[in-house]
Structure 1
Amino acid sequence: MAPAPPSSAPSPRRVFLCDTTLRDGEQTAGVAFSLDEKRAIARALDSAGVAEIEAGIAAMGDEEVAEIRVIVSEIRNAVPVVWCRLREHDLDMAARCEVTRVHFAVPTSEAQLAGKLRADRLWALSETDRLVRLATQRGYQVSVGAEDASRTDIDFLVDLANTAARAGAIRYRIADTLGILHPMATYGLVSNLVERVALPIEIHAHNDFGMATANTIMAATAGADYLSVTVNGLGERAGNAALEEVAAAMEAGGMATGIHLPSLADLSKTVARASGRALPEAKPITGDMVFAHEAGIHVDAILKQADTYEDPRCAPERFGRERRIVIGKHSGTAGLRAALRAANLPDDEATVTGLKPLLRDHAIRTKRPATPEDLSTLLRQLPPTFGPGGL
């Protein structure tokens, strides 16, 4: 018998996560990282497998330049990037950071150009051409970002992208700076640009209406190969697309990201400590309670077969986490019996039946799950007719 032909199944499409926790993430109101915290975040990002790390804004001054240099020296796999305004001074400052990649942010909407810079589109096109050529001549790889792209007409976005491409840029970032896009609008914008622009597209989504992750996923679906994210969704105002959510969703959808998913929980905690922003318990992927179950119907089913309420693409073990069965007001017989058995406490039917109303009162009073010690205490409150030898 002839050997079977080799499999011709296509490889999953690859998208690249470009993290800006150290730049846009630190622009979160009230957040400031020490150098040691920046180093820890950069190392964790590098180990997790992000493609690029936006290391900071050199134009902030000598101290920032020195810190960027330290961060860059410790990055082993990701590409470090320095963020620049559309100014030659910013490029000169970036030159002191020992990087090979710079990013120019170009205001594109009328509100940004006229209101912030007292400039016009001709100026934006001219300066983009000049500075991208200058940076390229100096040996940098350059990406160009359209700031406030979601409030800019598509023809000008195309003109700017083509200007950047002719000058030598390697990528074009569109920023939903005010977070006003929704998923279908994002898909339309990105797919239009993919058809009309020669450069690879990057999306930078803000979360003002809670859609940054969804918009980023739709941008990838429409053809954006580069996804700008921050750990825990840090960023201006309501933040940016969360790295951990985007990575998990992309991988679940069959797109490779290069991210080591079990690294996400520790990465998330590292940034939470450094930012002083505690993680919500229900934070997708990395929150303490996102793989916890209490409702009796769910727990009974999960104890029989895990995938009844846990899809394998978002199962806890995929992220180096463990499932938790929580005991509380909505616990059913199966979950409560399992918890009692695990605590070496009586788990007969009469005991479980008598314990349920006490457990519900406890949950309402304490606003937390019951511990084994709580269960032991509640059992002592049962009348002697319950339990083995009783009813």
Structure 2
Amino acid sequence: MKSDNIRKYRPFPPVKLTDRTWPDQQITSAPIWCSVDLRDGNQALPQPMTVEEKLEFFDLLCRIGFKQIEIGFPSAADTEFNFCRRLIEENRIPEDVTIQILVQTREHLIRRSFEAIKGAKRAIVHIYNSTSPLQRRVTFSDASREQIRDIAVAGAELVKQLTPTIPETEVVLQYSPESFSDTELDFAVECCNAVIDVWEPTPEKKMIINLPDTVQWATPNIHADQIEWMCRNLHRREALDVSLHTHNDRGTGTAATELGLMAGADRVEGTLFGNGERTGNLDIINVALNMNSHGVPTGLDFSNLADIRAVYERVTRMTVSERAPYAGELVFTAFSGSHQDAIKKGLDRRKKEVADQPDLAWGVPYLTIDPEDIGRSYEAIIRINSQSGKGGVAYILDREHGFDLPKTMHPQVGKTIYDLADSQSKELDANEIRDAFFDCFVNLQSPLELLDYELDHLGAGEVKCHATIAINGETQKISGSGNGPINSFVHALEVAGLKNFTLTDYRSHAIRGGSDSDSAAYIQLRSNDSNLTLWGCGVDPSIEMAGLKALVCAYNLLANA
């Protein structure tokens, strides 16, 4: 934004609340959750959901565990009305779920809404009217405070009058001073208290006061001050559920909600993945999983987040950002080498420690929660591109292909793989990494190739090998003795004048996930001329031959270095 344009904007005034208490609070229990996906989320879609899609979404919300679900604006359109009627007439609403409908404080719309909810076991009738100075001036043509307050009171009185006409339905009143976030606090509380005085809630039969952050004008701390101030000044506070409904215009919907809960709110309205008008509503998944990550149960089940996301994307035709907290495709993925190394070490250490301490607190660098707890696998945690490092490549080879590389081999393999990714300017998938590993480090046969090999056991642990090799394309037979296959082969190379190295390390294991007879061996050699140290890998059904192939491979890597 250009400096000249900034002159048109003004800072949002702070709340005079010098004795605020919310900064010292912690979130230790979950609020009442209310999904507004089928209303607020649906009306924000370029192509609103059909009735059948809304039914599927409603069922999904019930499975997740929502006990309050705003199903729409039944007085606004026949589709909305018919959806409400289908839920009721087809007995689709679980016994422990309360539907919620939204309606402006206008008489004919409220009467139509009561027709829509007739027969429901329990329904929240959510009435609202805009209260901010900007709305009073622009939308309501300079209406006075008294006129705006009277609209709210008339709506509450009509709901109270109509409630006895549907005795089979328990009606709960919810009132929202829409655009609360930029309404003067004294006027917001005046409107709310006027409605409370009409409805006369009790601790046994509460009503809901919803304080919507309809447009985010201020920082989250100011929102928290507003909520705490309201909670102190509302009539019959013990008979109210104070509700939050944050939008995300400033990108701080989650923070505003969490601070609002610390400030005394009891209830949260929001949507899955933050769908909603403009920059969206609060993402309930984000807040709920934030609580889970601190050990707070929420009553909402996001243990299969991928399936929830699939339904959401299909019926709303919206997409979840790759970086959306928890749900995004890449949020548990590390490309950076240092991150990959720390994650690998953390996962390996936790695997060992949790065997002895089943209740061990979660603690893996860069992972705030265990991805498996929300249905994500470890397969995509580490992905390889030119920014990756040795630990990430080793992790992929281990997790995906069963190769447990010696730690000192990681830098050699890692650099080769990420140099390949850099040269191709792309990410390498697990199979491409495996193929590159085999091409560069496994069973290499030039300039030295082992053509045939036989052992004679001489007793007392001594063996003699007879090998046929090709060196730079020329075949020759060599022999040597030692205390095992590898040692005797090394001696044979020495006798033939081909040994110019020192064997410094050897490892072997069965390959996990491969053939039952597949084995991998790793041998490290140091050049006697240059002191260069390199690893080679051998793969063979025979662990003995895997070791010999690893030796030949390391020899060739040194020769070609």
Q: Distance in 2 between matches of 1:84 and 1:217?
A: 27
Q: 1:361 to 1:117 in 2, by over 3 A?
A: farther
Counterparts in 2 of 1:184-333, with a 5 A limit? 184-197=221-234, 198=237, 199-253=240-294, 255-306=296-347, 307-309=363-365, 314-323=369-378, 324-333=381-390
Q: 1:19 to 1:367 in 2, by over 3 A?
A: farther
Q: Name the structure 2 match of 1:5.
A: none
Q: Name the structure 1 match of 2:62.
A: 46
Which fold has the larger relative contact order, with Cα–Cα distance below 8 Å and residues 6 or more apart in sequence? Answer: 1
Aligned with 2:99 (options 74, 80, 83): 80
Q: Determine if the alignment matches structure 1 residue 102 to structure 2 residue 121.
A: no
Q: Name the structure 1 match of 2:38.
A: 22
What SS does the corresponding residue of 1:326 show, helix, strand or coil? coil
Q: Name the structure 2 match of 1:8.
A: none
Q: 1:363 to 1:196 in 2, by over 3 A?
A: farther
Q: Determine if the alignment matches structure 1 residue 133 to structure 2 residue 152.
A: no
Q: Name the structure 1 match of 2:494.
A: none
Structure 1 window deviating more from structure 2 (203-212 vs 369-378): it is: 369-378
Q: Distance in 2 between matches of 1:339 and 1:129?
A: 64
CA contact (8 A) 2:385 2:426 kept: no
CA displacement, residues 74-119 of structure 1 (integer Å, 9 cap, x when unaligned): 2313211111011112212212222422101210112212311333
Letter in 2 for 1:320: G
Q: 1:327 to 1:196 in 2, by over 3 A?
A: same
Q: 1:346 to 1:18 in 2, by over 3 A?
A: closer
Q: TM-score, normalised by structure 1?
A: 0.88
Q: Distance in 1 between matches of 2:290 and 2:72?
A: 27
Letter in 2 for 1:334: G
CA displacement, residues 283-326 of structure 1 (integer Å, 9 cap, x when unaligned): 11112222223333333333333423156x62213323223222
Aligned residues: 380
CA contact (8 A) 1:24 1:235 kept: yes
CA contact (8 A) 1:230 1:243 kept: yes
Q: TM-score, normalised by structure 2?
A: 0.63
Q: Which one has a bigger Cα radius of gyration? A: 2
Q: Determine if the alignment matches structure 1 residue 159 to structure 2 residue 196.
A: no
What SS does the corresponding residue of 1:368 show, helix, strand or coil? coil
CA contact (8 A) 2:391 2:410 kept: no
Which residues of structure 2 form unaligned runs of 5+?
1-26, 164-170, 202-206, 348-362, 448-534, 537-552
CA RMSD in angstroms comes to: 2.6
- How far does residue 219 in structure 1 lie from its aligned partner after superposition? 0.6
What SS does the corresponding residue of 2:34 show, helix, strand or coil? strand
Aligned with 1:120 (options 144, 147, 164): 144
- How far does residue 340 in structure 1 lie from its aligned partner after superposition? 2.4
Q: Distance in 1 between matches of 2:110 and 2:403?
A: 68
CA contact (8 A) 1:29 1:237 kept: no
Letter in 1 for 2:217: I
What SS does the corresponding residue of 1:236 show, helix, strand or coil? coil
Letter in 1 for 2:41: G
CA contact (8 A) 1:359 1:378 kept: no
Q: Name the structure 2 match of 1:90.
A: 109
Q: Name the structure 2 match of 1:179.
A: 216
Q: Name the structure 2 match of 1:353.
A: 412
- How far does residue 208 in structure 1 lie from its aligned partner after superposition? 0.9
Q: 1:363 to 1:343 in 2, by over 3 A?
A: farther
Q: Which has the higher helix share?
A: 1
- How far does residue 364 in structure 1 lie from its aligned partner after superposition? 6.8
What SS does the corresponding residue of 1:58 show, helix, strand or coil? coil
CA contact (8 A) 2:73 2:102 kept: yes
Q: Distance in 2 between matches of 1:62 and 1:20?
A: 19
- How far does residue 356 in structure 1 lie from its aligned partner after superposition? 2.4
CA displacement, residues 204-224 of structure 1 (integer Å, 9 cap, x when unaligned): 111111001111111111111
What SS does the corresponding residue of 1:270 show, helix, strand or coil? helix
What SS does the corresponding residue of 2:100 show, helix, strand or coil? strand
Q: Distance in 1 between matches of 2:67 and 2:371?
A: 25
- How far does residue 29 in structure 1 lie from its aligned partner after superposition? 4.8
CA contact (8 A) 2:390 2:414 kept: no
Letter in 2 for 1:210: G
Matched residues, percent identical? 25
Q: Which has the higher strand share?
A: 2
Q: Distance in 2 between matches of 1:258 and 1:344?
A: 38
Q: Determine if the alignment matches structure 1 residue 60 to structure 2 residue 91.
A: no
Structure 1 window deviating more from structure 2 (333-342 vs 351-360): it is: 351-360
CA contact (8 A) 2:386 2:426 kept: no
- How far does residue 357 in structure 1 lie from its aligned partner after superposition? 4.2
